[in-house]
Structure 1
Amino acid sequence: MQPIVLKTEGFRWDSVSLGEVMLRLDPGEGRIHTARQFTAWEGGGEYNVARGLRRCFGLKTAVATAFADNPVGRLVEDFILQGGVDTSLIRWAKYDGVGRTVRNGLNFTERGYGVRAAVGCSDRGHTAISQVKHGDFDWEAIFGAQNGSRWFHTGGIFAALSETTPDVASESMDAARKFGTIVSYDLNYRDSLWKAIGGKAKAQEVNRELVRKVDLLLGNEEDFSAMLGIALEGVTEDFDELPIASYEKMLRDVAAAYPNLKMIATTLRTAHTASRNAWGAIALYQDEIVHVPQREVDILDRVGGGDSFASGLIYGILAGKPTDWAVRCGVAHGALAMTTPGDTSMATFAEVERVMKGGSARIAR
């Protein structure tokens, strides 16, 4: 495996993300099907990484996405602005008044508690970003002007939105690589999306091609199996029983199949209940394994934990930290993100460092 080599000259952004940003409607402690009120947030697998890099780690980030130009789209834009992420790459689609041709995505999510698992119900058909096609974004200008961006992040959720989004993902990766931008990709398998355009067979066809253009690949054991056909051996219902060697073999199998990859990382999660998980990670970089063992964490809202792991890991790489530090940063940031509501991280860098050092939850006054 080759090392990750970053741009060192002037650049406009530290990282750019490509993906859908939806309006999340959260019933809090209640259930979606009995709720009488919802709290609104923004969220999206690829966007969450950009926001975490900006708000927790203070880097310059942007999101390339699209919205129907109506009050709902402008509300999501307002959330993005509050998060400090550059909105200059957003495309606005003319709204027809009722959403027959274009609309903005809604994501109803309940957090779960104890034996009651978290539940997500997405309403995202015909969204503006799902309709983008090759040539809609000027990637040459995005990555070439003002030295572009040091990093580019997208993922399998965006690629699954429609028949055209894989072409956009491929086009964006080609441009990023042309200008020396590191590309990361989170497999993030979503059966509800892929089954609409061909199921697992289509997911593997698309992702096997896209992963050949990637530097850092992220995913969990289900993602690698569903999207690439590379399974974790000896899987049982109790992941606690699996030795870490099984995960190491899976990462090495992925590396052997895709020699272009410079780093592969996966989170380790054992969900004892919806509100208590064991959480850790394992990564492969330059043929060396870095393992952060699982530790018990209390969960308020697990959605976005993997995205916050990704942003913490990417920050460590961009900051020039050792690989072990970067992986531990990802684990700590992900753990903290799951202690607050919504998809996006509310953690501070000081809190991340404190968790990395093993700090307690004693009150800070």
Structure 2
Amino acid sequence: MALKLKSEKECRYDILSLGEVMIRLDPGDDRIHTARHFKVWEGGGEYNVARGLKRCFGKRAAVVTAVADNPVGRLLEDLMYQGGVSLEYVKWLPFDGIGRDVRVGLNFTEKGFGVRAAKGCSDRGHSAASQLKKGDIDWDSIFGKDGVRWFHTGGIFAALSETTPDAVVEAVKTAKKYGTIVSYDLNYRPSLWKSIGGKVKAQQVNRSIATYIDVMMGNEEDFTACLGLDVAGLDKHISKIDPGNFKKMILEAVKQFPNFQAVATTLRNAKTAGINDWGAILYVDGNFHEALLRENLEIYDRVGGGDSFASGLIYGLMEGRSGDEAVNYGAAHGALAMTTPGDTTTASLEEVEKVMAGGTARVDR
């Protein structure tokens, strides 16, 4: 049974995401602590999914977030305009003059090389989005009046403060009331949870949200860290990935959360910062579907690969494609996104489908 989406005619947007959008400061080939120049991007786990569905797959997309109303916030706005995602649901908060009460979150990210892993350093305390709480957004108007076919949020936003989990629950419950499909990316980030209870808190929050989710996503470690679902045979460094053990974990997830209509996980073995094995599994309609495993995939910038997987997967499911096609849209889009700098995709649907069809990297003239 395919996912039952609302019709395009009755909805203003195909995809709506809830989450924080930050300014990413990229030192290029330098380290964060030695750089003297940074390139500016926008990015955020949940936002990246909506942006990918807009820019690569041509879907009508919007984001719900909050931004400090100052020049830095307006820089972020300008970057988001380039992404093409509607900002009509952005909540602008007055700036206090110093950032003591509200500010724009920053994310410093350096690319890894060889044995040196990529590294992210968040600077997002007191950000506008982290202060969103239940009652701040008129979800009945968004889902009931305007109409949304698919709603996406995730564990990064849920980890930002004591209030954001309640904001997520309010949003997903209202989305489901109006027949909107809801997806969630667990996106476990130890740095976000460590000051508010670590894995214990992460599991408490994510398990409470999971009961409302239609399509659950994560990577190799997310389901264990966020939902307490162990994967047999997985070592500390996630160097040996057995798809069979992940399938057993997914079956346990569906058993514990029968509301899941689909479950997907990416599979990444990082041999070096620039060479990864990259694959994915989708469980839908009682069957497993594996994406083509890309061994020794060359990585330029791995950040955002999982978000691009999610947007490709959602596109496939939204279009009613088979499980095999949907998971391969996700895996191919994620692979392409990791060939360029920044959090967000620069790929086109034509490029994704070329990679899916086995196209090579020969010059295209």
TM-score range, shorter chain: over 0.9
1:333 is aligned to: 333
Rounded Cα–Cα distance in structure 2 between residues aligned with 1:157 and 1:19: 8
Matched, 1:261 2:260: yes
4+ aligned runs moved over 4 Å, structure 1? 237-240
Matched, 1:47 2:47: yes
Rounded Cα–Cα distance in structure 2 between residues aligned with 1:167 and 1:112: 36
Task: Check the 8 A contact 1:52/1:345 in 2, yes or no.
Answer: yes
Q: Identify if the C-alpha distance between structure 1 residues 205 and 238 changes in structure 2 by more than 3 Å, giving closer, same or farther.
A: closer
The within-5 A match list for 1:40-79 is 40-79=40-79
- Quick check: 155-164 or 236-245, which moved more? 236-245
Rounded Cα–Cα distance in structure 2 between residues aligned with 1:68 and 1:298: 37
1:4 is aligned to: 3
2:312 is aligned to: 312
Q: Return 5+ residue gaps in structure 1 as ranges.
A: none
Rounded Cα–Cα distance in structure 1 between residues aligned with 2:236 and 2:226: 20
Q: Deviations over 1:96-150 (max 9, x none)?
A: 111111111000000111111101001000000111111100000010113x110
Aligned residue for 1:65, secondary structure, equals strand
Task: Check the 8 A contact 1:269/1:294 in 2, yes or no.
Answer: no
Identity, in percent, stands at: 60
Q: Identify if the C-alpha distance between structure 1 residues 237 and 204 changes in structure 2 by more than 3 Å, giving closer, same or farther.
A: closer
Q: TM-score, normalised by structure 2?
A: 0.98
- Quick check: 241-250 or 11-20, which moved more? 241-250
Q: Return 5+ residue gaps in structure 2 as ranges.
A: none
Aligned amino acid, residue 250 of structure 2? L
Task: Check the 8 A contact 2:241/2:269 in 1, yes or no.
Answer: no
Offset at 1:240? 5.5
1:130 is aligned to: 130
Q: Deviations over 1:152-171 (max 9, x none)?
A: 00000000000000000000
Q: TM-score, normalised by structure 1?
A: 0.98
2:177 is aligned to: 178
Rounded Cα–Cα distance in structure 2 between residues aligned with 1:95 and 1:313: 38
- Quick check: 115-124 or 229-238, which moved more? 229-238
Task: Check the 8 A contact 2:262/2:283 in 1, yes or no.
Answer: yes
Aligned residue for 1:32, secondary structure, equals coil
Rounded Cα–Cα distance in structure 2 between residues aligned with 1:209 and 1:151: 20
1:200 is aligned to: 199
1:168 is aligned to: 167
Rounded Cα–Cα distance in structure 2 between residues aligned with 1:167 and 1:124: 19
1:248 is aligned to: 247
Offset at 1:193? 1.0
Offset at 1:181? 0.2
Offset at 1:237? 4.8
Aligned residue for 1:15, secondary structure, equals strand
The within-5 A match list for 1:68-107 is 68-107=68-107
Q: Deviations over 1:309-359 (max 9, x none)?
A: 000000111112111101000000000000000000000111001000000
Rounded Cα–Cα distance in structure 2 between residues aligned with 1:229 and 1:239: 17
